[in-house]
Amino acid sequence: MLRRLLRAKDRIDAASHEEWPVRRLANVSCVSQAHFARSFKDAFGVPPHRYLLTRRIERATALLRDTDQSITDIAFQTGWKSLGTFGRTFRDVTGESPGEFRARAQAAAHELEWVPACFVSAAHRPDLTIAVSEKRRQEAGGIVSGSKEKEVP
């Protein structure tokens, strides 16, 4: 089963800009949709859609940092259908807008010249352990990440 899941994960990695509904991934893995979704989360720790979002955000951050392409071009190139959805999701995951990220990354580029690229890449990997909508709901309700208690003003 793991080999089948890895096949689907490799397809996502190779073409994260494409649409990857569970039905399509389950067909790649030759299993039912429900079994695929459960097994993928058990094997990799995140649901397939969240894994896809992670790959898209990683690709977008690399393009924002390393190219001068417009933010709109990067959004569509990395598989987003809407610039607004891209911007909102990017901000929810990274804590800053794509424009703010680009400005900060380009200003700090010279500081990371001596750090191996694999360390920089790992440090910039988005942390999507909870759903973006759940993260947004927690922030709106004043819940501290990782805790169920509300902040006291």
pLDDT at 149: 47
pLDDT at 131: 67
pLDDT at 86: 94
What kind and span of H or E run contains 101? helix 98-108
Contacts of 18 (CB under 8 A, 6+ apart): 79
pTM: 0.67
pLDDT at 129: 65
- With residues binned 3-state (H G I as helix, E B as strand, rest as coil), the percentages for the chain, rounded to 5, are 65, 0, 30
Contacts of 139 (CB under 8 A, 6+ apart): none
Phi, then psi, of 19 in degrees rounded to 5: -75, 135
User: What does 28-87 look like in DSSP terms, one character per residue?
Assistant: HHTS-HHHHHHHHHHHHSS-HHHHHHHHHHHHHHHHHHH----HHHHHHHTT-S-HHHHH
Residue 130 CB: number of other CB atoms within 10 A? Answer: 14
Q: For residue 37, which amino acid is it? A: A
pLDDT at 150: 46
Residues in the chain where the model's pLDDT stays below 70: 109-113, 124, 126-133, 143-153
Contacts of 76 (CB under 8 A, 6+ apart): 83
pLDDT at 16: 86
